[in-house]
Amino acid sequence: MIHDNVERVRKAKGITKTFIATQLGLSLQGYRHITSGEVRLDVERLSIIANILGVNPGIFFDEKLTESVIKVIEQHKQINCSLTINNSSLPLDFLPQNR
């Protein structure tokens, strides 16, 4: 369950397995063993992963909490996408001038 929730949040954040593996000092294969549940995810590594993902490690222990965090991540993505689209369509005279 914990490793499944880690993977769900990682995917929602758009962070690669390779990046997390590197931050943990592991090969990609080593990280895959953790995410598959073949190797136990210890507290220290879980804490590092949570830090990388910008979440509290406690969320990984609760399905509903993980789901609510993923919803917030998706909402932020939609807001950021919306802002990017709106800002790119502004007329040039609307943008602040360097003075």
pLDDT tens figures, 34-46: 988 898 889 999 9
Cα-trace Rg, the chain: 18
Q: Which two tokens stand for residue 35?
A: 């995410």
- C-alpha distance across the termini of the chain, in Å: 56
**Residue 20, domain member (yes or no):** yes
**Residue 79, domain member (yes or no):** yes
pTM of the model: 0.74
Q: Which residues form the domain of 50?
A: 2-90
Residue 31 is part of a domain; what is its CATH number? 1.10.260.40
**Residue 95, domain member (yes or no):** no
**Residue 56, domain member (yes or no):** yes
**Residue 31, domain member (yes or no):** yes
> Which segments of the chain does DSSP mark as H helices, in order?
2-13, 17-24, 28-35, 43-53, 63-88
Kindly report, residue by residue over 46-59, the tens digit of the pLDDT: 999 999 999 999 99
Q: Total structural domains in the chain?
A: 1
